[in-house]
């Protein structure tokens, strides 16, 4: 039995095991455990479905081949040959899907995300670029059926942002947006430049997967919570009441604000979600700090200091420097069409991880 067949048997066994467990009254009454099993079952269902599809099509293909071999009538043989060709194509598609589904995935991939965009070098032009990136990500999220929610911002006089924090809610959001962490560079003639010279400005993007409360243990005594009057893009309609929330995590000095909702309670919940994600990120960075540089991912999904992409208006070009991808579709990409970039980054990330896994195998020999 090869490695793939072994994994398939393990998945089918685990799937049946979960179904049996969920019929156990003691597990049904344990809300947290039942919810965890439901999530695991939901994750396994697409894999199990394709496994059953492969079994079905493999059987049909064998029967069609046997019919083609045994059939004497030429017209029936031709029909059988067409059936064989069709089933072979379907089996290839199923095998491709299974390869994707069986690939080792980041356990955070299915989560929603919290994103923070900050203006870098370039003054007001960098602040305007923050707004452009926000529109791009919002449009891409909408095309995927995900919801974007504003959390907090520091606005500028010309309509830009020194900082913009928002969430994108939807299953699988992190799998797409995790590649956006890093420094984004724009090259264009700024609206603030009368001489028509091309300027280079930057913005920094941070992407955090949303976390469950159980993953980050926060002592309430470590929090300083203040209320204030909201203002800016998300708070213009509520600036007469102290509904905005500022939470300071005393041990780390992390400060999180939220001023989107009319409800102080909702703002507090959003701010806590951001704080939990940032604390988890800090902990993961500590753990990964000891990893040698050559073992880190080529795609660089987590390094905020890494210059990852350039948007050149004069040439109508977008270049992702991590994988050497250049697309002359600037307008469409800024309009939210990130599919090709995400696909290429995902493939590069997977190839890099497979390369690292192969190296590990060699080292272990």
Structure tokens that stand for 198 in this block: 């091309």
Cα separation of 184 and 209, whole Å?
Answer: 20
pLDDT of residue 104: 66
Burial 143-164 (b: 16+ CB within 10 A, else e): ebebebebbbbbbbeeebbebb
Q: How far apart, in whole angstroms, are the C-alpha atoms of residue 84 and residue 99? A: 22
User: Which DSSP letter does residue 298 get?
Assistant: T
pLDDT in tens, 313-348: 999 999 999 999 999 999 999 999 999 999 899 888
Would you state the pLDDT for residue 306?
A: 64
Task: Give, in order, the Cα–Cα distances in Å from 353 to each of 111, 179, 295, 365.
Answer: 21, 15, 9, 19
Q: Is the pLDDT of residue 293 over 50?
A: no
Over 60: is that where the pLDDT of 237 sits?
Answer: no
Give 149-170 pLDDT, tens digit per residue.
988 888 988 889 999 999 999 9
CB 300 within 8 A of CB 306: yes
pTM (predicted TM-score): 0.61
Residues 111, 156: Cα–Cα separation, whole Å? 31
Q: Name the residue with higher pLDDT: 303 or 42.
A: 42
> If DSSP states are collapsed to H, E and C, what string results for 160-193?
CEEEEEEEEECCCHHHHHHHHCEEEEEEECCCCC
pLDDT tens per residue, range 44-67: 999 999 999 999 999 999 999 999
Residue 288: band (very low, low, confident or very high) from pLDDT cuts 50, 70, 90: low
């Amino acid at each position: 039995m090869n490695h793939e067949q072994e994994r398939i048997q393990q998945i089918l066994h685990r799937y049946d095991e979960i179904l049996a467990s969920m019929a156990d009254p003691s597990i049904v009454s344990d809300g947290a455990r039942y919810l965890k099993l439901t999530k695991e079952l939901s994750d396994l269902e697409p894999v199990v479905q394709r496994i059953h599809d492969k079994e079905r099509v493999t059987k049909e293909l064998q029967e069609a081949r046997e019919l083609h071999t045994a059939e004497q009538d030429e017209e029936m043989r031709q029909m059988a040959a067409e059936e064989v060709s069709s089933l072979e194509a379907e089996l290839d598609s199923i095998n491709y899907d299974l390869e994707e589904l069986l690939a080792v995935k980041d356990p955070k991939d299915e989560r929603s995300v919290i994103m923070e965009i900050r203006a870098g070098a370039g003054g007001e032009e960098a602040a305007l670029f923050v707004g452009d990136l926000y529109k791009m990500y919002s449009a891409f999220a909408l095309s995927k059926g995900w919801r974007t929610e504003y959390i907090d911002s520091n606005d500028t006089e010309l309509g830009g942002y020194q900082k913009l924090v928002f969430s994108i809610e939807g299953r699988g959001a992190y799998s797409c947006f995790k590649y956006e962490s890093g420094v984004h560079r724009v090259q264009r003639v700024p609206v603030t430049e009368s001489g028509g010279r091309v300027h280079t400005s930057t913005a920094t993007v941070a992407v955090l997967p949303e976390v469950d409360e159980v993953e980050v243990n926060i002592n309430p005594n470590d929090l300083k919570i203040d209320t204030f009057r909201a203002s800016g893009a998300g708070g213009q309609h509520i600036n007469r009441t102290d509904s905005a929330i500022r939470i300071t995590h005393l041990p780390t000095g992390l400060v999180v604000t939220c001023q989107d909702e009319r409800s102080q309670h909702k703002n507090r919940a959003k701010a806590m979600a951001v704080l939990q994600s940032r604390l988890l990120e800090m902990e993961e960075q500590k753990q990964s700090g000891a990893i040698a540089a050559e073992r880190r991912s080529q795609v660089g999904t987590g390094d905020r200091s890494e210059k990852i992409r350039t948007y050149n208006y004069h040439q109508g070009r977008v270049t992702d420097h991590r994988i050497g991808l250049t697309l002359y579709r600037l307008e469409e990409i800024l309009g939210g069409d990130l599919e090709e970039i995400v696909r290429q980054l995902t493939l590069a990330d997977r190839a890099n991880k497979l390369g690292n896994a192969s190296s590990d195998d060699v080292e272990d020999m």
